[in-house]
Structure 1
Amino acid sequence: MKICLISPVNPRNTPYTRDTKAGPALGLLRLKYWIESRTEHEVDVIHSDVENPYINYSKYDYVGIGSYYPTMKYDLKLGAWIKKTFDVTLIYGGINPTFLPSEYLTTGDIVVRYEGEKALERILEERITEGVVDGPYLSESEWREATFNLPYESAPWKKIWEFNRRRYGVGPAVRLVTISGCRRGCVFCSSTNFIKKIRFLSSDELAALCDRVARFLPPNGIIILQGDDELYGRARRRFFDLYERGYRFPRPVSIQTEVKRIDEETAHVLKELGVFEVCLGVESFSENILREYEKKATVEDNERALDILLRYGFRIYANIILNGLGIYSTKEDVEYTLKRIEYWKRKGKGKIVFGINKEVIPLPGSKYWSILQSKDEVKVK
């Protein structure tokens, strides 16, 4: 059997998607490794950020499309065209189809919910042609195997780097998956309900993977560790292990974490390892807005983390949700947050970039989505 997997179709024409830099379909590449290492089936991957998904699919038995909420209508449009034009079984998968399966079954034959590796293997082996297939989670050892052996080298990196250079003026970067799952439980995000197990690469695997991608990354390139919280729980210990061994990252590294993970010791270790940028979900400088979004961090935590990171010379990217839900917050909370943003910009002297979203977009599967649906205040687009 032959299957082609397609990443979400992002036209970059909305506030939520236009600043999303091009990247490889890492999740689909992991599916490719899983299927081809365990079966005789063949898997091709289209990275639709830089590759045309409107091609001839007549040689395939199955076509799978990954989808998330902001690209939903474009993914459904592509799927409808494929079904109309070719005699294939169409599969949708990803976070959005997991929580909105009926919407995707309007054009697709199969929806895979949750993790896709074992579900896709079952579909191909049993030649399933319709319905909803729930994917059992990979064990930690299975996840590590599939993630570490993900065929990074096969991604169209040169096309990705050129796209991002032209559109965003940034240099080459390679994104790595080293941790899966998130326990932060933000009310607007569905990640917590999609991947319910925290799994991460070991210290040795993390170092080996960074060394491996550095071989094809240009000298001016950076490595981005793209997990929701690279310093979560026991995963934090990986960085300390590597530091104590004398390991240093082969390229400058950007990581994402939560403000409460930042302390003096952690900042020192990250800086010595070669981390140059830390991305944080600050969200607000208003306790009322943080309370509305059920953030575990306080304003004091946010400001303490920013202060520590600045003193150690990191570049900081801080996400902000400007407006609250109006439960406890007022316009004074928004005005105060704007004042604190200006304060930190002055103090940071170019070292802090704030990514400001005027309001939150509730994602299917999130607590906020469920609340709005119960009030009939949200519609599937």
Structure 2
Amino acid sequence: MKNKPSILFIEPRADNLNIFSRYNLPRLGTIILATIMRDKGYDARVYFIHEKELEKMDTQCDIAAISTITATAPQAYRIADYFKRLGKTVIMGGPHVTFLPEEALEHADYVNLGEGEESLPLLVRAIEEKTPLRDVPNLAFIQNGEMVCTEKKPFSAPLDTLPFPDFSLLDYGKQNRIRSRVLKRIIPIQTSRGCPYDCTFCSVTGMFGKRYRYRSTESVLAELERYNPKNDKIFFYDDNFAANKKRTKELLRAMIDRGFKFKWSTQVRSDVAKDTELLELMYQAGCRILYIGFESVDPVALEAMKKSQTAEEIRNAIKIIHKYGIFIHGMFIFGFDTDTKPSMRSTIRFAIKEGIDSAQFMILTPLPGSDFYHEIKNSGRIFSTDWNSFDAHHVCFKPKNITVHQLQLMQIEAHTRFYSPWNVFLKLFRNNMGAFIIGVYAHKINQQWQKMERYYLEALEAVSRKIGKHEEASAE
């Protein structure tokens, strides 16, 4: 009997330096796919590496399956080229190549479009048995010099049918141990997919759809049973953990009844604060950190991005969530067409004044698959063709009311002010040790980033003089 082909799953590790650089948390999709293929009898391994480490890794395989987001696409393409030179079959997947398959096929033999849990096994079997590729859904490939895209078929199986990710397929202990007061692994667990909202800057609905799908409570509890709260912390990987509040409460009550002692974190919208029963259950079940996309406090910007919230609602949410003893990591975005220096500085002052524990101020990024990408591309406002810069920390399009250099400086100013020595010291004075530790680290990262990117900042200033703003208007 012929041996099944061996598959090497690779996810490039990003270059960028930011507050989360120390959290080497691979996306779950890659590990779940590897687990599926392993369970089907294939030799599957996972590497979460930088391309510089290629020479040190075991590259023996028949198929290289490479996943990428936009910011790691150039590196992923170089890794694909490397394996092509070795004579391997290369499959690419992930959000970036799903929306730009023609670009990816310059480096890969096949591109899996969208979710791959059903289509990847069919593709590998077609390669193995040399059967027609057109019978494989969600696939792009080149035939007779033309790109062929097969039938688009959404992933329809219940999420409970997916296996639990087997982290032993990668060196998870070494790659995902963070330095904190208590050394623990961060275990990602996904309980749902999709998002019922449709923010203009987000590509989640383009990748997973607006239909909110979730696992059964028993399935999530069974996965939690695999881990040890003494060694592991949980990060619920959902794009919006509380999108269906009734279902979320059911899960939380079951976690409490089961007596789990995990400390965990997750992403939610600020509207969780409108349901105090939900917050009480979250804390009792072990929630200690919430990552919340506040985005802005400017009402015009919030309306433009289809974010149905107000500055007053954000302020109330912060107060209420803090009453339940939950740490808030606030995320803000600069660069909307309505943004000016005064409006962005208002957001910075708000974040400091309202006592958010930690914060990220990101630059609006036109990610392929988002409404914003199509809008900006069609209007000719994208000036950078380097996907590395599409990481929410570099400016890659022409803003409307300020120059590209001014927008970058506003992001630097935001982190400099929020993580100033005085503000960081106040966290310690108020006995907020977690925020103090993160603040010290973030202050250092901000200084390092400016030092590392000084040539980029000089180049960006030159670009600003050349291209100006999208529409000339007073920025001061």
Same fold, TM-score > 0.5, yes or no? yes
Cα contact 1:3–1:62 (8 A) shared by 2 = yes
Partners of 1:91 and 1:270 in 2: CA distance:
40
Alignment partner of 1:159 is 2:174? yes
The residue aligned with 1:77 is: 78
Which amino acid counterpart does residue 114 of structure 1 have in structure 2? G
Q: 1:354 aligns with which of 340, 345, 359?
A: 359
Q: Check conservation: 2:198, 2:205, Cα contact below 8 A.
A: yes
Which of 30, 34, 44 matches 1:32?
34
TM-score (norm 1): 0.86
The residue matched to 1:114 in structure 2 has which SS? coil
Is the CA contact 1:35–1:117 (under 8 Å) kept in the aligned structure 2?
no
Residue type of the alignment partner of 1:12: D
Measure, in 2, the Cα distance between the counterparts of 1:318 and 1:184: 19
Match of residue 211 from structure 1: 225
What letter corresponds to residue 377 of structure 2 in structure 1?
Answer: Q
What residue ranges of structure 1 are gaps of 5+ in the alignment? none
- Find 1:332's aligned residue among 342, 345, 348: 342
Output the amino acid matched with 1:311.
K
CA contact (8 A) 1:173 1:223 kept: yes
DSSP 3-state at the match of 1:306: helix
CA–CA distance in 2 between the matches of 1:303 and 1:371? 31
Aligned residue type for 1:210? L
What one-letter code is carried by the residue in structure 1 that aligns with 2:198? G
- Provide the secondary structure at the position in 2 that maps to 1:229: coil
* Structure 2 equivalent of residue 105 of structure 1: 105
2:290 to 278, 292, 296: 278
> Which of structures 1 and 2 has the bigger CA Rg?
2
1:51-88 deviation per Cα after TM superposition (whole angstroms, max 9, x unaligned): 9444453x42211100110111111111111112x111
Q: Does 1:181 align with 2:197?
A: no
Aligned to 1:201: 215
Letter in 2 for 1:356: F
Amino acid at match of 2:46: V
CA contact 2:47–2:170 (8 Å) conserved in 1: no
Note the residue ranges of structure 2 that are not aligned, 5 or more in a row: 134-140, 143-148, 387-476
Q: 1:14 to 1:105 in 2, by over 3 A?
A: farther
User: Distance between the aligned counterparts of 2:51 and 2:218, measured in 1?
Assistant: 32
Partner of residue 125, structure 2 = 125
Work out which of the residue numbers 202, 205, 209 in structure 2 matches 1:192. Answer: 205
Shift of 1:213: 1.8
What SS class does the counterpart of residue 165 from structure 1 fall into?
Answer: coil
* Percentage identity across paired residues of the two chains: 20
Give how far 1:170 is off. Answer: 6.7
- Note closer, same or farther for the CA distance 1:91–1:135 as it changes in structure 2 (3 Å cut): farther
Contact persistence 1:252–1:276 (CA under 8 A): yes
CA gap of 1:235–1:7, structure 2 versus 1, over 3 A, is farther
Please state how far the C-alpha of 1:220 moved relative to its aligned partner: 5.5
Q: Is the 8 A contact 2:6 2:62 kept in 1?
A: yes
Correspondence for 1:374: 378
**Conserved 8 A contact 1:318-1:355:** yes
Q: Could you tell me whether the CA contact under 8 Å between 1:190 and 1:365 is conserved in 2?
A: yes
Question: Counterpart amino acid of 2:236?
Answer: L
Count of residue correspondences: 361
- Which residue is equivalent to 1:247? 258
Residue 414 of structure 2 corresponds to none
Give the match's secondary structure for 2:375.
helix
Identify the match of residue 137 of structure 1 among 150, 154, 168: 154
C-alpha separation between the residues in 2 aligned to 1:281 and 1:306? 12
With structure 2 as the length reference, what TM-score do the two structures score?
A: 0.69
Matched with 1:146 is 162
Deviation string 1:315-363 (CA, Å, 9 cap, x unpaired) is 1111111x2422x343322121111111122xx6xxx111111x21111
Aligned with residue 344 of structure 1, among 354, 358, 373: 354
1:140 and 1:261 map into 2 onto residues whose CA distance is 29
Structure 2 counterpart of 1:288, from 274, 277, 300: 300
How many Å separate the matches in 2 of 1:34 and 1:282? Answer: 36
Provide the residue aligned with 1:312 in structure 2.
324
Q: Which residue of 2 aligns with 1:264?
A: 276
Alignment deviations for residues 120-157 of structure 1 (CA, whole Å, 9 cap, x no partner)? 1111111168445566333342x22215x322454423
